[in-house]
Amino acid sequence: MNERDAKQNAVAELMRIWPVTGELTERFAAAGHRLFLVGGSVRDALLGRLSSDLDFTTDARPDRVLRIVGGWADAVWETGIAFGTVGVTKDGATLEITTFRADSYDRVGRNPEVTFGDTVEGDLLRRDFTSNAMAIELSSQTFVDPHDGLDAVAKRVLDTPATPQESFADDPLRMLRACRFVAQLRFEPAPRVVEAMTAMSAEITRITAERVQAELSKLITGADPLAGIRLMVDTGLAEHVLPEVPGMRLAIDEHHQHKDVYEHSLTVLRQAIDLERRDDPDAGPDLVLRLAALLHDIGKPDTREFQSGGGVSFHHHEVVGAKMTRKRLKALKYPKDVISDVSQLVFLHLRFHGYGNGEWTDSAVRRYVTDAGDLLPRLHKLVRADCTTRNKRKANALQRTYDDLEARIARIAEQEDLARVRPDLDGNEIMKLLGVPPGPQVGRAWSFLKELRLDRGPLDYDEAVRELRKWAAEEGITAAPGS
């Protein structure tokens, strides 16, 4: 991609959303101010992936920006105004307009002392990477590229406008952003960037868990998360962000050989992504599935036991791993549903290996489906992705066996509502039949009937009533007269 073609590509992308940017540019020009498309928006325009979320910078101060967009924007928000940013929506586009910045950092926390600048060049100098340190003046469509960002995009190289040491000392989150851009954009970090990240990795502890989690999620859902994870691990960042991942790099000695759990987990992640894309090419990346694939074996280091004869075991590593997963994701401030779903997938990922050659009873199949619940489609992908053996015969046999399990699930589901396994009697019927008020006894009876349903499948009403009364008698629960 030569410079001329790159600029034409960027302008073509810009013209695609010109009705919005054109009107906005005219309003700023009429008010005597300059407006620039800036940062990641310029980079994405060059790469032909510009979205409707656009970043702008201007010499106008925030109060002036508010007056310029007032009456024109569909909506305006001021949540970032302390940092010089005014948010705007217009005709389906989301625009962030930030006054030129010339910030300084105390290099203790992350938040800068906000100082407004006077030039776009000064604003670009404070940007994280040269590929993000470009601007297009909209009125003339003139490129501003003082740090060779165009060349960086063409070569897909990540470098910093200032020295990496200065950049990362100002904002350590930029190190994790480097890993994210490697995963999202398939860029290669410059050697000096890698060197600085390795030396300064501990500085990431200055950043709040919420900000770390946001970058990590973008990395995991990127086009090539394996590359981003490898950079995290190789530079030492992962030791402070997700230490369980480098912790899976188990030493392999000549007497007790086993798989490298770290490399195995990356392979499982790659294969899970392949299945994700194969099953629904139009669906977006699945954060829960990808986290589960990466973390499914993190319990192995803590459960490893060497056996006589050269074997290695990891008994109950799925139980330990589920607890570790919950603890780590909670520390990273992930939402409760994500924590619960990822942990449950880690807990269940080994269950299938008890299936053997189809020895499971229908009851065991029902329990597998019930325990997975809404996670069953993801569990299918995770279990299939967990097969990384190079022995094609063994791999094919495992896939055929799982095909058989899925066929059994489908067959039983045709006869029973497996998606909603419930007792054959509900709580109101239990209270009526046993003559008991709401309370623990009803809950215990409900649980008994659910276990019975899992073991034997659907019961007709009379049979369910007989089993309930039999259980109640054994529990010493005496039905009230007339019930």
Per-residue pLDDT averaged across 42-49, rounded?
Answer: 86
Per-residue pLDDT averaged across 155-162, rounded?
Answer: 94
Per-residue pLDDT averaged across 13-17, rounded?
Answer: 62
Percentage of the chain exceeding pLDDT 70: 87
Whether 47 shows a pLDDT value over 90: the answer reads no
Question: Quick one: pLDDT at residue 86?
Answer: 96
Question: Quick one: pLDDT at residue 327?
Answer: 97
The pLDDT confidence band at residue 108, using thresholds 50, 70 and 90, is low
- Rounded to an integer, what is the distance from CA 367 to the centroid of its chain? 28
pLDDT tens digits, 331-373: 999 999 999 999 999 999 988 887 777 778 888 888 888 889 8
Question: Quick one: pLDDT at residue 479?
Answer: 57
Whether 478 shows a pLDDT value over 80: the answer reads no
Whether 417 shows a pLDDT value over 60: the answer reads no
Whether 91 shows a pLDDT value over 70: the answer reads yes
Question: Quick one: pLDDT at residue 112?
Answer: 63
Q: Which residue has the higher pLDDT, 38 or 139?
A: 38
Question: Quick one: pLDDT at residue 255?
Answer: 37
Whether 253 shows a pLDDT value over 50: the answer reads no
Question: Quick one: pLDDT at residue 166?
Answer: 93
Percentage of the chain exceeding pLDDT 90: 51
Q: Which residue has the higher pLDDT, 10 or 402?
A: 402
Question: Quick one: pLDDT at residue 256?
Answer: 40
Structural domains in the chain plus CATH codes:
1-155 (3.30.460.10), 162-241 (1.10.110.30), 267-420 (no CATH), 427-474 (no CATH)
The pLDDT confidence band at residue 8, using thresholds 50, 70 and 90, is low
Question: Quick one: pLDDT at residue 370?
Answer: 84
Per-residue pLDDT averaged across 467-473, rounded?
Answer: 82
Any idea which of 109-118, 156-165, 203-212 has the lowest mean pLDDT? 109-118
Per-residue pLDDT averaged across 218-230, rounded?
Answer: 97
Any idea which of 83-97, 211-225, 422-436 has the lowest mean pLDDT? 422-436
Whether 470 shows a pLDDT value over 70: the answer reads yes
Whether 229 shows a pLDDT value over 50: the answer reads yes
Mean pLDDT (the chain) is 86
Q: Which residue has the higher pLDDT, 294 or 10?
A: 294
Any idea which of 29-38, 69-78, 254-263, 323-332 has the lowest mean pLDDT? 254-263
Q: Which residue has the higher pLDDT, 210 or 281?
A: 210
Angle between helix axes 287-295 and 225-235 (nearest 10 degrees) is 50
Whether 426 shows a pLDDT value over 90: the answer reads no
